[in-house]
Structure 1
């Protein structure tokens, strides 16, 4: 497992503690207002290695491996990988660390979990950074359809055809096709989402592929997609009461772009800061860490 470091070059603190009956791996570093970082798929908390030193002078950063990922437990129940369940996990983790109120930043699937956390624990989340994601049941599935408009959208910056979402949803078949080819599959999957193919460095690539090969690793990744219908039901129930906390959005022109802001405006009343990062793909914290860190600091340190 590669190490993560703060702004002083000191290794972060690793903990494997119990959270709602699961052994959770998380890292803590820095000082200041608490900031929870929520990674996407198929990644782990090592995803934050570039941006972490840019945040630790200003925030007390908490970055877990989500259930099913990395060194956190991968429970067998197929109904434990939805966004609301993850929200409860994250809320309990922050309580155990003494953070009753906190900021949260999520990317990719982690952004959907971050939204769920803000929706369920409205009195605890100070601000939400929702980046490079759309919500299940509120627009995400529209980009999964096999139709000419979605295929064409991949080439003119109007969106992307999300072929993998229905594929990962299918029981058993993805496991059969990916197992034994994890290196080739996940490398292609992650690099294809980047503007700069070299943004996925070898150390990170090997970390995520290694965990996908471990017992339950591939299933943990896929179960987050198989929870899509449950997530859709949850999101549709929450949109009736929009978030009132400050919200920030970032999209990338090579992926969701301006759709991210449009998505949050459907579910939040107070979208204060929104950008589309030029020459950037789906992995914001790897492709534009300095710009993202500055935006998070400017947005959250005034809240």
Structure 2
């Protein structure tokens, strides 16, 4: 369904003209904040069925600025910043940055905007949050697009171990050794390495008070996410239609295999050739086509393709 829009009194212009996102008409998207327990920043644009875009780490909702105008004609796009990111609130670590908490934020945002049901596309860590959102709020997510991610406690862990098979897989382009995941979980060391150099590594918003918290705590919540996924896997597999997308030199075909472990309606699966981990920046046209065909077309059950 297409729900109500944010009331005018909480809509606002982009915080910075240099970070503006535009729709298919070249019009600037509308921004707003919602939720009762934390301030959650998002932008909304387009018309049609609601499509929820969930970013990964360390990205923000600006990450999809090239993707949005390609299909805002056909969808009402809602793109939030996760807790701890950009202009969304940065609550203390004790309040949680795990996938269940993130999913509750996301479901609450869509409820506040008046959307009872919606499509979801997530990439990187945002894909894991999209999976948890779909597993907990099963009556709300109509279809799930799961891009370039594995699940904590399912297959992500084994790819992060320091083992000969992982190291050689990296060298031989048979897989990606996720060494950075345990590294980014180390307390205090990352803050020491990054603070004072934020502009060199990312952008100035990481230098704001609490700006690093959202990035690092999404990694440090990995052990909690393992337990959450273990509980969800004990329940019935997901039954909603699912599309998967991977790239050859990152997660690749493992993305589809991951969803087959937790769901029984995995449909189209794409491998984006000559593309890196950032789908919306490196293959925005292919991604827009795949999403539009999946969400408004057939489910493409059991199909696989290289694009």
TM-score of the superposition, structure 2-length normalised?
Answer: 0.89
1:7 equivalent to 2:24? Answer yes
1:233 equivalent to 2:249? Answer no
State the structure with bigger RCO (CA 8 A, min sep 6), 1 or 2. 1
Deviation at 1:148, TM superposition (A): 2.1
Deviation at 1:213, TM superposition (A): 1.3
For 1:183 and 1:164, the matched residues in 2 are separated by 20
> Which contiguous aligned blocks of 4+ residues in structure 1 show a shift greater than 4 angstroms?
none
Please give the secondary structure, in 2, of the residue aligned with 1:8: coil
Whether contact under 8 Å (1:79, 1:227) holds in the other structure is: no
Deviation at 1:8, TM superposition (A): 0.2
Q: Unaligned stretches of 5+ in structure 2?
A: 1-15, 299-307
Tell me what 1:51 maps to.
67
1:271 equivalent to 2:266? Answer yes
> Superposition pairs for residues 163-178 of structure 1, below 5 Å?
163-178=179-194
Whether contact under 8 Å (1:33, 1:59) holds in the other structure is: yes
What CA deviation, in whole Å up to 9, does each residue of 1:192-218 have, x standing for no partner? xxxxxxxxxxxxxxxx52121111111
For 2:272 and 2:173, the matched residues in 1 are separated by 12
Tell me what 1:153 maps to.
169
Tell me what 2:150 maps to.
134
Whether contact under 8 Å (1:70, 1:217) holds in the other structure is: yes
Could you say what the CA RMSD is over the residues aligned between the two structures, in angstroms? 1.2
1:218 equivalent to 2:215? Answer no
Whether contact under 8 Å (2:93, 2:217) holds in the other structure is: no
Tell me what 2:7 maps to.
none
Deviation at 1:97, TM superposition (A): 0.9
Q: Which is worse superposed, 72-81 or 38-47?
A: 72-81
For 2:193 and 2:243, the matched residues in 1 are separated by 38
For 2:179 and 2:261, the matched residues in 1 are separated by 24
Q: Unaligned stretches of 5+ in structure 1?
A: 187-207
Q: Which is worse superposed, 165-174 or 24-33?
A: 165-174
Q: Which is worse superposed, 238-247 or 76-85?
A: 76-85
Tell me what 1:251 maps to.
246
Please give the secondary structure, in 2, of the residue aligned with 1:78: helix
Please give the secondary structure, in 2, of the residue aligned with 1:285: helix
TM-score of the superposition, structure 1-length normalised?
Answer: 0.90
Tell me what 1:112 maps to.
128
Please give the secondary structure, in 1, of the residue aligned with 2:281: helix
Q: Which is worse superposed, 142-151 or 278-287?
A: 142-151
